[in-house]
Structure formats: C-alpha cells, structure tokens
Structure 1
Amino acid sequence: MPLHLRRRSLFACLAALGLSACGRGGAKPLRFGAHPWPGYQLLYLARDQGYLPAAVQLVETPSSSASLRSLANGTLDGAALTLDEVITARSRGLNLRVVAVVDVSLGADVVLAREGITRPQQLRGRRVGVEPSATAAVMLDAFLRVNGMDLTELKLVELTVDEHVAAYRSHRVDAVVTYAPASNLLRRDGAVQLFSSAQVPGRIVDVLAVQADRLDACAQGIRALVHGHFTALAAWRADPSPALAAMAQSLHIEPAELAAVLKELELPDAAANHSWLATDVGRLNESARMLSRVMRSAGLLPEQVDGPDLSLLVDDHFLPAT
C-alpha cells in the first residue's frame, strides 16, 4: 500500500521565494542551516575552530522540517539535508543542488520502542512518532516492508525530531522513528531498538545542498563551507578526543555516545566526494535513482512519468582539488 504521511505544507510559499542578499556586493554571508545531527556537527566544529570565514553564517535549526521551511521562504541559501529530502524538495519546485556528501547512515537512523516492546509486530495499533519529513517516511516504509506490516496498522503521531524525547517521556507515543541525539537520550530511558538504517544501506545519505540560484552569488561562501567541513573532518580524525568532546557537548550527549554513533556513519572525505559527485556515474546519482524508485513506489513523490529531474542534482565545482 502506498505510504502517505500527513505533512505540513513546507513548500506552499515557493512561488514567493525571495532573493538572497548573499552576493550583493559581498555584504551578506552565505546563510546555511543545519539541525542537530552528529554528521552535521563537523560544520559547527569548523566554525568554532576558525575554519569558516565571515562569508559563512551557520544557522542552527531545530529540525530538517524547519530547514526546509526556511529554504522555501528564502531566509536560508542552503542547508544540511538528507538526499531524499533534497529529491522531495526538487520534485515540489525547490531547485537544490548538492555540493558535498557529509555522511551515509549505516545504522544511525532507528526505530525505537518503549521498554517491553521487543518485536515490530507488537506496534500494531500503537502510536508511533514520525517527523513530517521524507527521511522519516523512507525509514518507516522500509521498517514496514521488512517486517511485513502495513501503515494502517499503526497510529501515526506527527512530531518533529526536537519533540521526540518529550513525547516519549510523557507517553504520547509508544515508538519513534528517530536519530541522534534524540536516540541516545531515549536509550537512556530504556527505549528498545526495533530497526535501523543498517538494514537498508544507502537509503539515508546526508548532504550539503544550496539553492541553484545562489550558486554564483554565494560561490565564495559555498567553497569556504565545503572546505571547512573537510578540514574539520581531517582534524577530528587526526585527534578525535577534543573534537568529540566539543561536538558531544553541543548535542547534549556523552563523548562515548557520540563516538558510537559516528561508527554507524560513513564519512566521505574530499577525495571520496569526487567519486560521489561525479557527473552521471557518481554514487550520489546512483543513490538518487534508487531512492526515487523506492519513494515513488511508496507514494512519497508526486505522480510523474520521469520523476524529479536528477540531471542537475549535483555541482562538484566547490570540492577541494585532490
């Protein structure tokens, strides 16, 4: 059965998109949004370590839904999003280009249930918290298919990720489709893992995406953002402890918890990104084609003959030379 999640209208204001002042005489920086997620914390590490110049302004958003709303109303030039969110946004008229891949989830996205629920089938008739985002929809669809279940067997509760912990603790939900740092806090409360992205490898890919009409005007800031991310990644790999402590503090979890999550992520460096973003034959386009098929089959994309145009999905001009 096609999966249709009740969503907020994130793109209703697309027709009224404002133009960024990002490149007007160089007076304004690139405004780039990112919500709390371990893979995105390297951007904040880059800022705090001085790897990002004044040409880049990071804006912390509470969720991917909030980032998408800000992209749609023109208050952000770009944002850290999952590939499926980028595909959904493009299919609805928000022309985003991927300028870098920051991580691939190999178990960091999960379905967690209340203590005592040990099998997926025990969720039948129970309340499941789901963010109104494409990523949550893709994860929920995979969870249902793998376990031979149907969407109608669950009672969905729409919650952005920043609401997951409070909803669980107040017994508003029996399970959530979630990720770190919320997943770490829920596990402390006894939540049980029923499913993870490790069971559907390649489905959840996190990227840096920028509005296509900002690529030229914001070129300096985009290049600095991408370079800063890879510089922070290299610094973390060279000396993990101080970077882990700083990033964990920002996420309100322990360094050991963050280290465990990072082990469930593939973190491509600049060299690997050239392979990911290679035109047509790159891993990103391959993942995008696979995701589009899955999402269309699940009813997560508008009915289109050819689906969203993936020919202009990536722009590798901002990657550091290798």
Structure 2
Amino acid sequence: MTRLLHRLSALMATLLAMIGALALGACSGSPEPAKPKTEFNIGWSIYAGWMPWPYAQQAGIVKKWADKYGIQINFVQVNDYVESVNQYTAGKFDGVTVANMDALTIPAAGGKDTTAVIIGDYSNGNDGVLLKGANSLAAIKGRQVYLVELSVSHYLLTRALEKAGLKSTDVKTVNTSDADIVAAFGAADVNAAVAWNPQLSVMKGEPGVAQVFSSADIPGEILDLMVVDTATLKANPNLGKALAGIWYETVALMQRDDAEGKAARAAMATLSGATPEMFDSQLKTTFLYADPKAAVAAATSPSLVTTMTQVRDFSFSKGLFKGASSADAVGIAFPGGKVLGDPARVTLRFDDTFMKLAADGKL
C-alpha cells in the first residue's frame, strides 16, 4: 500500500477524460462560486506522511477542531491513491492528500482550481534509484531502468540523470507497476530500478544492490500536501483553520518520545498495515513539517518556485498537460503574488494563510 498504487493506468484514464476540461476549465483562474456549508469530506490514502490524518480522526482530534469551528470533517480512506485524487477531481471530495506533482498533473491540469493549505512533508529518502553491481550513478548509462512511468519515480530518475550530467536518452525506461517491481527487480537480467517505500527497502536489501540516488539528494522537491477545492475554501475558511489545527496538534503528539507519542505512532502503524518498527523506519525518510513556522518558510521560499518549475517542465515534457502548447498552460500561484505560468489560468495555489495562523498561535 503506497501513495501511488497503480498510478499509470489510472492516470492515463484520467488524463484522457480531462482533455476537454483542460481546454475549458483552465481558461480562467477564477474558481466557480461555492456556498458556505458545514460538512466536508476529505480523501486520504496510505502513506507514512499522511497517517496523522486518519489517526487524528480516530483519536478525536478531528472532532475537537471541527467542533471549534462549527463544522464536521469526515476523512475517507481510498485504497488506490490515484483513485482518491480522481474522486477529488470529480468533486466527490472537498480535499485530498496528494503529492505536488500529482496535484499539478491531475486536478490542476484538468482545470480544477486547487489550493494547497498544508505542506505536510517531503520525501527524504522514501524514493530511490537502485543499481546492481555498481555503486555509482554514472553506471546507469545504457541500462534499462524499471519504474512506474509518468510517476514521481520517473521524475526522480530525470533529476538523478541531470545531477550525473546524463540525458534521458542515456537510459531506457521499462514501465513496471508498483505491485510487480520487487519481483521484476529480482530477475537476473534486471539491473536498474526506481522505487518508493516500502518496496524500496525490500529491493535495496538484496545482495549486490546499491542505492545510488534518492529523494534525500533533492530535498523538498517531492512534497506531500493537503489540498482543498479553492472555491470551497474561499466560501468556508473555517475548514482551512480546522485542518491546520488538526495537523499541527497531531504531528506534535506523534513526535513525542513519551508513552503517548509512541502509542500514537503505533496506532498510525496499525492504520497503515505496518508494524511500529516498519512505520518508524518510514518516518526516518520522511521530513515532517511539524513546526508551522518551518512550513510557512517552505511555502514562501524561492526554492518552492524552483521546484515547481522543475516539476511542471518535467510534466509538460512527458505529455501530462494534454492539449497544452507550453508548460505555461497551467498557472501556479505562490504566497506573495508570484505566479508561474499564465496568470489567467491559475489552477494550483500554494496558500500559507492557515499555516501562518498556526505559527502565530491564532487558530
């Protein structure tokens, strides 16, 4: 169970369905008006950095903050990560847990105006490039690399090649589902792969295997977010306030070394289908933004603009902006008024408002 279950097939189906939406929905950066309401549904899928959300619901933290703002928030598990994003894009959820690249290439590229209200974490080693019989990334040249194409793994490979002074044409990718990649890498004639945890841990434990690049080498680029429909958020700012309160209280609890902190992590492990030891191991390669001040700094840093430029250029180069003539077709807005791409077509927004309220103790 990971945040990218069966990504390729679901993604391609979604993109085909959204060609028309891109042409129509992305023509305006103004979201459709929404009405105030009191009940909200948020989709989530299993990934170490997202387990605070369902645990908070189980522990009563969600109810505490929702009650404070006179609303009800339901966290709904979807076993397939991409399907959760698809359902959000289709309007079945008010928000969803999603990686930055997928927020851009699925809802935003499909014309659904989406706001990132919480930057929750970044992959700090949860994704890696593996080689057999070599300890240097340079040795990847000329090899067939097994990975889930058009996914975060594909992005990581591209960044690894750039760092090594290589081109994408220096390797040949072989599309492999996350469910099959461990077995595929076990074959004698397969000597290069890119994967994410928990598969990554299993694969790099095999004899003669070396991890030659990981997401820790590009810190802050593979981000995990809580996003909300922009129109819904605008009409219901209390939802953003409650989500910020839930996140920072829960993450503060899970980082404690006392009995309560350990119990919280153990409960999250159970919810994710892992042992406490496995879950703690996954947390070690997940940089959680537990301090709201650090999250605000990340949201307002010029490095976020740089990261999203790299992500959108990669996405466009791989044809993930269907029907677009340039990478500027999907506008991305940042705190302070900076816009990447077409200002008239902004459909992905990074908003530090609620993280800042938490940082300032004003929730």
- TM-score, normalising length: structure 1: 0.78
CA contact (8 A) 2:126 2:215 kept: yes
Bigger mean CA deviation after superposition, 298-307 or 239-248 = 298-307
Structure 1 counterpart of 2:217: 199
Structure 2 counterpart of 1:100: 118
- Paired amino acid for 1:82: A
Say if 1:227 and 1:125 are closer, same or farther in 2 by CA, change over 3 A: same
- Paired amino acid for 2:86: R
Say if 1:25 and 1:99 are closer, same or farther in 2 by CA, change over 3 A: closer
CA contact (8 A) 1:99 1:314 kept: yes
Bigger mean CA deviation after superposition, 189-198 or 67-76 = 189-198
Please say if 1:252 is aligned against 2:273.
Answer: yes
Deviation at 1:197, TM superposition (A): 0.9
CA contact (8 A) 1:184 1:253 kept: no
Say if 1:216 and 1:297 are closer, same or farther in 2 by CA, change over 3 A: closer
Structure 2 counterpart of 1:82: 99
Q: Which among 313, 332, 337 is matched to residue 296 of structure 1? A: 313
Please say if 1:266 is aligned against 2:283.
Answer: no
Structure 2 portions without partners, runs of 5+:
1-7, 26-30, 67-71, 335-348
Post-superposition Cα deviations, 1:38-70, rounded to whole Å, max 9, x if no partner, equal: 111111221221111272222223454223322
Structure 1 counterpart of 2:354: 318
CA contact (8 A) 2:298 2:304 kept: no
The percentage of counterpart residues that share the same residue type is 22
Q: How far apart in 2 are the matches of 1:139 and 1:97?
A: 24
Say if 1:130 and 1:140 are closer, same or farther in 2 by CA, change over 3 A: same
Post-superposition Cα deviations, 1:114-163, rounded to whole Å, max 9, x if no partner, equal: x6565553574435021543x2332121122234444442232142x455
- Paired amino acid for 2:294: A
Say if 1:119 and 1:56 are closer, same or farther in 2 by CA, change over 3 A: same
Q: How far apart in 1 are the matches of 2:189 and 2:234?
A: 46
Q: How far apart in 2 are the matches of 1:188 and 1:76?
A: 38
Structure 1 counterpart of 2:75: 58
Structure 1 counterpart of 2:50: 40
**Helix, strand or coil: the match of 2:14?**
coil
Structure 2 counterpart of 1:155: 173
Bigger mean CA deviation after superposition, 62-71 or 295-304 = 295-304
Structure 1 counterpart of 2:156: 139
Please say if 1:31 is aligned against 2:33.
Answer: no
- Paired amino acid for 2:305: A
Structure 2 counterpart of 1:308: 330
Q: How far apart in 2 are the matches of 1:252 and 1:72?
A: 27
Say if 1:226 and 1:31 are closer, same or farther in 2 by CA, change over 3 A: same
Bigger mean CA deviation after superposition, 192-201 or 179-188 = 179-188
Kindly name which structure, 1 or 2, has the bigger radius of gyration based on alpha carbons.
2
Q: Which among 8, 14, 20 is matched to residue 12 of structure 2? A: 8
- Paired amino acid for 2:297: S
Q: How far apart in 2 are the matches of 1:30 and 1:173?
A: 46
Deviation at 1:103, TM superposition (A): 0.7
- Paired amino acid for 2:218: V
CA contact (8 A) 1:63 1:162 kept: no
Number of residues of Structure 1 aligned to a counterpart in Structure 2: 306
Q: How far apart in 2 are the matches of 1:237 and 1:123?
A: 41
Say if 1:118 and 1:305 are closer, same or farther in 2 by CA, change over 3 A: closer
Say if 1:169 and 1:247 are closer, same or farther in 2 by CA, change over 3 A: farther
Q: Which among 215, 229, 254 is matched to residue 247 of structure 2? A: 229
Q: How far apart in 2 are the matches of 1:143 and 1:171?
A: 24
CA contact (8 A) 1:24 1:217 kept: yes
Q: How far apart in 2 are the matches of 1:137 and 1:70?
A: 24
Q: How far apart in 2 are the matches of 1:197 and 1:34?
A: 22
Post-superposition Cα deviations, 1:86-113, rounded to whole Å, max 9, x if no partner, equal: 2334244232111011012222221245
Higher helix proportion: 2
**Helix, strand or coil: the match of 1:52?**
helix
- TM-score, normalising length: structure 2: 0.70
Deviation at 1:8, TM superposition (A): 1.0
CA contact (8 A) 1:70 1:76 kept: yes
**Helix, strand or coil: the match of 2:119?**
strand
CA contact (8 A) 2:97 2:225 kept: yes
Post-superposition Cα deviations, 1:280-303, rounded to whole Å, max 9, x if no partner, equal: xx02x6413433146426724654
Deviation at 1:31, TM superposition (A): 2.0
Say if 1:237 and 1:23 are closer, same or farther in 2 by CA, change over 3 A: farther
Deviation at 1:232, TM superposition (A): 0.8
